[in-house]
Every structure is written in C-alpha cells, then in structure tokens.
Structure 1
Amino acid sequence: MSEARGRRERPEPPEPLPAPTVDAHTHLDACGCETAADVVEVMDRAEAVGIARVVTIADDLAAARWVVRAAQWDERVTAAVALHPTRTATVTEDEFAEIERLAAAPRVVAVGETGLDYYWDHSPPQAQQKWFRRHIDLAKRLGKPLMIHDRDAHDDVLRILREEGAPETVVFHCFSGDAAMARECVDAGYLLSFAGPVTFRNAKPLQEAAAIVPDDHLLVETDAPFLTPHPHRGRANEPYCLPWTVRALAALRGVSDGEMAEITRLNAERVFGLDELPLAAVAETATAADARSS
C-alpha cells in the first residue's frame, strides 16, 4: 500500500475494543489506498481492533469515482459522495450531474461531505452556499442521509438547513460546536459524529457537547488521515485508531467502552442502512475493479 503523502508514521495499534463499531467518516484514498489490496489491508488492521465497517468519503469528483469503486472491493466498506465546500468555486453542471449519478449507487450510503467552510478561502461563501443547497436537494431526492462539513460556519449551516428543509437524516461530521449548538442540532433531529478532537486536552466545550448528546443521536469517526486522537495527535490516522476516540467518549459519558462501541455501531447501521446493502455486488465486481486499479 502507498503511504499517505507527507503523513507521519502510524502509531502502534490500540487495545481492541470489547465490541465492534463503525467508523462513520474516513478518507481511505487520502490514507494512501489506491487498489483493492490496499483497502483490504487497511480494513484488516481496523477489524483487528474492533472496527467492523467504515464509510469512506469523497470530497471531489475524482475521489467520488474512487470511493464508489472501493465500496465494491470490500464488504466492510461503504461510501459517501459529494463535493467538499472548499471545492465549489468552479463546479460545473456536468460535474454535479456526475456526482448525482455516483451518489445513486447502491453502496453509497450518504451524500457528503458537503456544507460550509469559512476557515479556508478556497471558495467564496456564495458558491459554497449554492452548492450546499444543491446537495441538500440531492439527498432528499435520493432519500439518503446528508453528511455535513461545518467549519466556522455554524449559523449559516443551520440557517440553510431550515430554509431548504433538511433531509430526513442529517449527520454533522466531526461536530465542532459547543453544548448549546449540540442541543439545537438534537432538537432538529440531527446526528452528531465525534472525531479525534474530542480527545484533545484543550477541547472542553466540545467535550461538554459530547457528554449531553442522546445515545440515539451519536456517531463516532476518525476523519482519517486527519485529526489523529490523543495520545497520538499529529501522527498518521487510519480507521484502526478509532478505539482511542471511542474510549474517550465512553469516559465522558460514564459508560463502558463496550457500551459506547455498541451504541455507535447500532446508530451507524440504522442511519446508513448498513444491514440492507447488497453484498452480492462486492463479489461480482471485485475482480473487475482490481483489473481497473492495476
């Protein structure tokens, strides 16, 4: 497997979880995966510590094409497809039409990640908001969850969801708000997914938010290869690193590691319909996919 470009060495694996769970948001291509064999290698490492499944996320058109193939290479992998808000400055209608086609694939379980990012200035707010609205419409038309990227844009993200009418299921990936925002999201019926930052020592507002989210609104993720959890912050992240975040959430919420793993697994299976996915497609297309990637 190719090492992720410019990433530091991976940490040693954590102690396996006492129950399996799901990484609700990762980027296997950015972790260095290119071929079916790469994906299997990453997933074997993850499964060895209790990560039974992952949702691998696209943030541009090339990644969207790749994640749809990757979800056919290994039954432990599903996909989400969208254009990241920082990629929206020059989107064409033809490009979005291809995103629409890819998002309809059977093993694509969400439209994402989409939303707003006011931290970076790669795309103007007007373009981000336009394409966020288009992704909201796409999720509603497909009947699939909407997976949101929200960085320094809480008010506008929530406003646009209200204006457009949110899809039935909305997931805030790598939730970054405080307890007040968490309550607002939960009241609206949204799910909150927590990543490595909830383990950071300087993340008290985020930890307070994680402590109050009802069990049925909670997911956990790596966002790998980014946001590696404490105590390995700054090193390369991968789905097998998720147990550190699961254990941090369990401690914050006063439950056992096994309970936390079970809660987040059941929520991911329900939200993304993981037990309803066609698995026959994996066996039928894996050989062809391998041929294309070699």
Structure 2
Amino acid sequence: MLVDSHCHLDRLDLAAHGGSLDAALEAARARGVGHFLCIGVSAGNAAAVKALAEQYPDVDCSVGVHPLDLEPGAAPALDWLLRELEHPRVVAIGETGLDYHYEPEAAGLQREAFRLHLEAARITGKPVVVHTREARVDTLALLREAALPQAGVLHCFTEDWAMAKAALDIGFYISLSGIVTFRNADALREVARQVPADRLLVETDSPYLAPIPHRGKPNLPQYVREVAEFLAELRGVRFEELAEQTTDNFQRLFPLAHLNRG
C-alpha cells in the first residue's frame, strides 16, 4: 500500500478521468494507493478540503495558509486556525512555511504566519507540513525556535543534503515528489539516497510536478507509484519494501490519519 502524503484534490485537472474525482481516486487505488492527504493552502479552500475528507474514507486533510496565499499585510488569525484544526479529519497543519523565490518582499509577513502555524502545532500537537523555497536559513531557524515536541515534514523537498540533515536532526521527515525523477535533479537524487528509511515519505503534490514519464501533463495521485518505484530503484530496495516503509512512516507522522491497511 502507498500513501500520497501531499496532494491537492480540490485542484486536480480531471480531464483524463472524464471530470470525475471518483474516477481519479479509483485509478490511484487500482495502482495500490490506499490513502491520500489533501492539503489546505488558504482560508478559502479549508471548507473544500474538509468536505473531501468527509466524503471519502481514505482521504484526510490539513488546514493552513501557504506562504504565497497570505492576504496582503495580514497573517491568518490563530483562533481561526485552531477552530479549523478541531475537525476530526484535519490531521495536520499547513501547508505553511517560507517562499522567498516568488515573494521575497513578503518575507516578514511569511515569517509571522509561519510562527503562527508553529504555535498552533505546539498547542494542538498536530504535525506541520512545511513548504520552503530559497529560505533555508530562516526555515530552519524558525523550526528550531519552535522546538516542537512532535515531528513534521518538509514536503516536496528540493534542497541539499545539509538542509535535509539539519531537518532530520530536529526530528522532521523528508517527502519527495516527482521532481526526483527529473533529468536535472542529480543533486536531489543524492539526497534521496541518504534519507533514512524511517524518515522518508512520497507524494505527488498533484496537480503540479508530474513525474517522468508524465512530465508536462497534469499530475494525478495515481502517479505517486512512479515516484515510489523510482525511489525504490534509486535506493536499491524492492518497491514493496519502500511502499510499506513509507506508509509506516506516514502513519507514525500523522497518527490521527484514518488509514485502513486491510
């Protein structure tokens, strides 16, 4: 069994499945994907991801505000986030974090919002899903400052081994997406070989970043199998072993997730 540990089911391009999310999820299940974590990115889509988690027994969700979805000049309210996190299908916080690639001018606001999400993680005990791009020093500094007792994950990891090691040292997990299959991702593949087996997750980040051989097309949860198969070969383990290990890791990191492993 595989878990797509990070997907945006409310944003999928469903043309390949006749416009049907049911069909897209069924296609993923047919390829061994037994659970999906649907990720919140804004106050505006919180209701949508919660509704999907309520509708499908093999879907859980997170709620949070992506650093590129912050309202101009305003971090989300902590009381709003804490209320959202009370929902029984909300098993994680985020995605949150820092992205200085697209909005370096908003760095201060992003840091304020990230701290707020980390405070919610401290209060609730729920794990945090972290997006980071071109903000390595500040991301690690804020994670260390928060000193959370529970683990979290750096999702869609694209940084170097030094950052991965620093995150691992403070208890975080590393999640790899289809980017690891890209032709120019040699440095990331080196990281992928070194991440300890018990700290590794797989994801699609669909509808974005489809793995080879689907690159350039809309990504779908079913393609997490390509990511897992690639990583198994890269790491020199059987696919079944990697699937079982990453599912165990997901269950450990997200203990409130409603996995049914048969």
> TM-score with structure 2 length normalisation?
0.92
Identify the residue that residue 155 of structure 1 maps to in structure 2.
137
Is 2:217 the counterpart of 1:235?
yes
Residues 277 and 137 of structure 1, relative CA distance in 2, 3 Å threshold: farther
Bigger-Rg structure (1/2)? 1
Between the aligned residues of both structures, percent identity stands at: 39
**Offset, 1:276:** 5.6
- State the partner residue of 2:4: 23
The corresponding residue for 2:119 is 137
How big is the shift at 1:264? 0.7
Tell me, yes or no, if the aligned pair for 1:86 and 1:117 is still in contact at 8 Å. Answer: yes
Give structure 2 stretches of 5+ with no counterpart.
none
Match of 2:72 in 1: 90
1:72, distance to aligned residue in structure 2 (A)? 0.5
Q: Which residue of 1 aligns with 2:229?
A: 247
Q: Structure 2 vs 1, CA of residues 45 and 83 (structure 1 numbering), >3 Å: closer, same or farther? A: same
- Do residues 226 (structure 1) and 208 (structure 2) align? yes
Per-residue deviation, residues 67-117 of structure 1 (Å, max 9, x unmatched)? 111100010100011000012243657755333211221111110100000
One of 128, 131, 134 as aligned partner of 1:146? 128
1:30 is matched by which residue type in structure 2?
R
State the alpha-carbon separation in 2 of the partners of residues 198 and 162 from structure 1: 27
Q: 1:199 to 1:211 in 2, by over 3 A?
A: same
- CA pair 184-157 structure 1, distance change in 2 beyond 3 A: same
1:60 maps onto 2:60 in alignment: no
Counterpart of 2:11 in 1: which secondary structure?
Answer: coil
Taking a change above 3 Å as real, the CA distance of residues 64 and 123 of structure 1, as seen in their structure-2 partners, is farther
Match of 2:22 among 40, 50, 56: 40
RMSD after superposition: 2.0
Alpha-carbon offset, residue 63 of structure 1: 1.2
| Residues in 2 aligned to 1:40 and 1:200: alpha-carbon distance in whole angstroms | 29
- Partner Cα distance (2:257, 2:70) in 1: 33
1:221: Cα distance to partner? 0.2
Match of 1:257 among 200, 216, 239: 239
Q: Which amino acid aligns with 1:140?
A: R
The answer to whether the 8 A contact 2:121-2:148 is kept is: no
Per-residue CA deviation, residues 3-50 of structure 1 (Å, 9 max, x unaligned), is: xxxxxxxxxxxxxxxxx11000000011057xxx94433221110101
Contact preservation (8 Å) 1:54, 1:78: yes
The runs of 5 or more residues in structure 1 that have no matched partner are: 1-19, 279-294
> Does the alignment pair 1:180 with 2:162?
yes
Q: 1:81 to 1:196 in 2, by over 3 A?
A: same
Aligned partner of residue 143 in structure 2, secondary structure: helix
Distance 2:236 2:103 in 1: 40
Amino acid at match of 2:9: L
Aligned mates of 1:120, 1:74 — CA distance in 2:
34
Alignment match, 1:165: 147
In the other structure, the counterpart of 2:97 is: 115
Does structure 2 conserve the Cα–Cα contact (< 8 Å) formed by 1:61 and 1:95?
A: no
1:76 aligns with 2:58: yes
TM-score by length of 1: 0.82
CA distance in 2 between counterparts of 1:276 and 1:59 reads 21
TM-superposed CA distance for 1:272, in Å, is: 1.1
Residues 222-267 of structure 1 show CA distances to partners (whole Å, capped at 9, x for unaligned) of 0000000011111011101111100111111110111111111111
Task: Letter of the 1:238 partner, please give it.
Answer: L
8 Å CA contact 2:75, 2:113 repeated in 1: no
Query: Is the CA contact (8 Å cut-off) linking 2:132 and 2:139 kept in structure 1?
Result: yes
